[in-house]
């Protein structure tokens, strides 16, 4: 079975993606591949960050690797936090800090439309492939639910009554931005 190095140290991402790639490849983390230092993400686009991370791991290990970058894009905030979603409240902020800042900035705003986008950069045998997933929804007035991570507790996907944080992982994965991007990658890997 093909082995892929996931260019992340984020345990939540690994758990989500591993369940989606089961049976198609063996997923290894950057730490398992011997990379313990922070993986850079200094670009100004989701695609740029995904490629920077995937190439960082590929150059250090010479092994097939992939990375993703995800952003929450809020219409009323001109697409913010976008590529800065993970560090919206500052460089050493927590998920709770980011969510609190977003909710402060959204206070009193009627247009709550938002989308999550994920871009995956995959390097197989030195060849680059890119996959994208998107889900539209809205920003809730307050956090709802205990599951998930990041902005999951304040994002409700279009057509659903529950926030991502209220959904079982299997349900969230079936309709989430990351789930959609990983499913495209899974289909591609299944054909190799």
Q: What's the DSSP call for residue 147?
A: S
pTM (2 d.p.): 0.87
- Domain 2-191: give its CATH architecture: Alpha-Beta Complex (3.90)
Which active-site residues does the annotation give?
Answer: 69
Query: What pLDDT, on the 0 to 100 scale, is given for residue 166?
Result: 96
Distance, CA of 59 to CA of 64 (rounded, Å):
10
- Which single residue is written with the structure tokens 């959609």? 180
Residue 172 marked ligand-binding: yes
| Whether pLDDT at 173 is above 90 | no
Query: What pLDDT, on the 0 to 100 scale, is given for residue 149?
Result: 82
Query: What pLDDT, on the 0 to 100 scale, is given for residue 19?
Result: 84
Of 13-17, 20-24, 54-58, the poorest mean pLDDT is in 13-17
Confidence of residue 12 (pLDDT cuts 50, 70, 90): confident
Confidence of residue 174 (pLDDT cuts 50, 70, 90): confident
Q: What is the mean pLDDT of residues 142-154?
A: 91
Which residues have CB under 8 Å from 102's CB, separation 6+?
A: 72, 74, 81, 88, 139, 151, 154
Query: What pLDDT, on the 0 to 100 scale, is given for residue 36?
Result: 93
Confidence of residue 100 (pLDDT cuts 50, 70, 90): very high
Residue 8 marked ligand-binding: yes
Which residues have CB under 8 Å from 157's CB, separation 6+?
A: 135, 136, 137, 164, 175, 176
Q: What is the mean pLDDT of residues 128-145?
A: 97
Confidence of residue 73 (pLDDT cuts 50, 70, 90): very high
Residue 22 marked ligand-binding: no
Residue 13 marked ligand-binding: yes
Q: Cα dihedral angle (17, 20, 24, 27), rounded to 10 degrees?
A: 20
- Which single residue is written with the structure tokens 């990351």? 178
Q: What is the mean pLDDT of residues 160-189?
A: 91
The answer to whether 99 touches 108, Cβ cutoff 8 Å, is: no
- Which single residue is written with the structure tokens 């800090």? 97
């Amino acid at each position: 079975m093909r082995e892929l190095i996931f260019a992340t140290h984020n345990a939540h991402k690994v758990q989500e993606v591993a369940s989606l790639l089961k049976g198609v490849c063996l997923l290894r983390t950057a730490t398992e591949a011997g990379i313990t230092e922070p993986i850079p993400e200094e670009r100004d686009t989701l695609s740029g960050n995904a490629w920077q991370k995937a190439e960082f791991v590929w150059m250090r290990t010479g092994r097939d690797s992939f990375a993703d970058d995800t952003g929450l894009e809020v219409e009323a905030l001109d697409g913010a936090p976008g590529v800065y979603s993970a560090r919206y409240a500052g460089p050493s902020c927590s998920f709770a800090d980011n969510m609190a800042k977003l909710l402060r900035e959204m206070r009193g705003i009627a247009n709550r439309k938002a989308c999550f986008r994920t871009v995956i950069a995959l390097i197989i045998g030195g060849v680059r492939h890119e996959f994208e997933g998107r889900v539209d929804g809205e920003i809730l007035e307050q956090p709802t639910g205990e599951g998930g991570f990041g902005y999951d507790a304040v994002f409700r996907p279009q057509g659903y009554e529950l926030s991502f944080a209220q959904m079982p992982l299997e349900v969230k994965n079936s309709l989430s931005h990351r789930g959609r991007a990983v499913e495209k990658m899974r289909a591609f890997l299944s054909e190799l």
